[in-house]
Amino acid sequence: MGQKDTPGSPVKPERLALAGLLAALLLLATGGSGPAAEPPRDPAKAAANEWPIMHNLGHSNFSPTTKLKPPLKVKWMTRLPGKFWTGPVIAEGRAVAQDESGYLFCLDAETGELLWRTYTFGESQPGYAPAIFGGRVYITAPQYGENANGMRCYDLKTGGLVWRKPAGRSMRGLSNFPGASPQVVGGRLVYIANANDKGDGYPNPVKCRVQCWDAATGEALWTYTMSDQPCHNYSLVAVGDTVYASADDSQTVALALDGKPRWSTKEHVFSKKASYVGQIMYRSGELWLKTGSDGNAGADSLAVLNAADGAFKYKAMSPMQARQWVFMGERYFSRTVASAPVAYEPATGRKAKPDFKMFAGAGFASGCGPAVGANGYLYAGMGNTSDPAKPGNMWYAWNAATGEPVWSFPNATNCCPPPAIAYDQLYCVCGSDGLMYCFESAQGGKAP
């Protein structure tokens, strides 16, 4: 028998304000058993200045409307009792993140006040991200042994459990780190994982499947089998009335909301040969996905497909071990471990100007967070400095037009969890010390 949920459990986090480090006791709203389910709102009507899933809608890593501009200053900082692989998602006035032990935290996005936390009985390593849609939080808690966790739906206001259903198990390794959020489209919740015919992760045999539930009630609606074998690297993205998915060495497919395929290709798919696969991305009628490595070019190769029919359009490139990319203006940008972003020309997929720089004397030995973009600037977390005399980590910002660094902010622990941009602010959570930051533009252009 599975363990009992304890939604809305009280917690005593340390609040850190701008005036200094001020300890305060925060009382949490108690969740209870969960309210009656209500139909989630249509995510297409969500504010453009939100970030409801990790990497944002379409996995664009881009905020189209924000006025955020560096230099930045800390608006608020809250210490959470956990370690994080995945970054926060921001929508409906809330910031939600899950730590590596399976605790789900919900904060007020404007003030940083911790509103509730609940235990999902899952483990987020190497990264399982939540999603916020229509007053609900959706999160997958991977299944281990006999503990059938699967997909869970929580009330955004209280943390109360609304429903949970089997969702299989993940075999995603660091090559796909971090895992993607579930997604809601047309009142349906979709996710991709390895599951058996009952939707469970155990016992075998399991197959790689796209799964679909009624987002309000959790009723299982359909599944689509990507492969008769479990897959290690897979991703999906929901756009409009279509769900696009790809799984390693099997197929890339476009599915209607009733689960019927609109097109499928086995020629251009996620590949086990690519170093760090990342997520499938939708952009202006195109699908972008990693399909292999080009040793001669010292880069990974991307296939760009026509989203309408799956036809191959052209080949693009990204740095080795890069997991995500972001489009701004006439360029797309990506970065690999411990490096500044690299600019590429979309029409050719080749490197382009500018060359990105670090601040003078700066160098890093690690740093795996993807870059996100808004308003002509890129933001990313850098790992440990390569100078043992100056240990630490940094959040960085660059001018995308010039490649020049324009802002940095020090932090004691790793900055790998992907950041988010919403409400004209930058939200970041640190991997090892549980600090969640909200940055805003510094008034008068003054550095923090």
Residue among 279, 153, 144 at smallest CA distance from 200: 144
Q: Which tokens in the block code for residue 368?
A: 């795996």
Domain boundaries along the sequence of the chain = 66-76+330-442, 145-323
CATH code assigned to 66-76+330-442: 2.130.10.10
* Number of residues that this document lists for the chain: 448
Contact between 151 and 130 (Cβ < 8 Å):
no
Q: Which tokens in the block code for residue 332?
A: 């797309």
Q: What is the pLDDT of residue 298?
A: 62
Q: What is the pLDDT of residue 329?
A: 83
Query: Tell me, what amino acid is at 154?
Result: Y
Q: pLDDT digits over 408-447, tens only?
A: 888 767 777 889 999 999 999 987 788 999 999 997 544 4
Residue 312 burial (CB count, 10 A): 13
Q: What is the pLDDT of residue 43?
A: 47
Residues 309 and 242: their CA atoms lie apart, in Å, by 12
Residues 436 and 430: their CA atoms lie apart, in Å, by 6
pTM of the model: 0.85
pLDDT-above-70 percentage for the chain: 74
Q: What is the pLDDT of residue 178?
A: 55
Q: Which tokens in the block code for residue 285?
A: 């009628």
Q: Which CATH class is domain 145-323?
A: mainly beta
Residue 245: beta bridge partners?
A: 236, 253
442: Cβ–Cβ under 8 A, 6 or more apart, which residues? 70, 71, 72, 73, 448
Quick one: 311 exposed, middle or buried, by C-beta within 10 A (0-12, 13-18, 19+)? exposed
Residue among 438, 440, 439, 432 at smallest CA distance from 80: 432
Per-residue pLDDT tens listing for the chain (448 residues):
333 333 344 344 443 333 333 333 332 333 333 444 444 444 445 578 999 999 999 999 999 877 899 999 999 999 998 888 888 999 999 999 988 888 899 999 999 999 999 988 755 455 678 999 999 999 987 545 444 457 999 999 999 999 998 887 765 544 445 568 999 999 999 999 888 877 776 667 688 899 999 999 999 999 999 999 888 788 899 999 999 999 887 999 999 999 999 999 999 888 766 556 678 899 999 999 888 766 555 677 888 999 999 999 998 888 766 778 899 988 999 887 768 889 999 878 888 999 998 887 666 655 567 889 999 999 988 766 656 655 568 888 999 999 999 998 887 677 778 899 999 999 999 877 889 999 999 975 444 4
Q: Which tokens in the block code for residue 17?
A: 């304000």
412: Cβ–Cβ under 8 A, 6 or more apart, which residues? 392, 393, 430, 433
Residues 433 and 429: their CA atoms lie apart, in Å, by 9
Residues 335 and 366: their CA atoms lie apart, in Å, by 12
Residue 169: beta bridge partners?
A: 194
Checking 402-408 for CB contacts under 8 A at 24+ apart, the result is 402/354, 403/340, 403/343, 403/353, 403/354, 403/355, 403/356, 403/357, 404/357, 405/340, 405/356, 405/357, 405/358, 405/359, 406/70, 406/71, 406/377, 407/70, 407/71, 407/72, 407/447, 408/359, 408/362
SS3 label, residue 174: helix
Beta strands in 266-376 (DSSP E): 281-283, 286-294, 299-306, 312-319, 325-328, 331-334, 342-345, 350-355, 372-374
Q: What is the pLDDT of residue 193?
A: 85
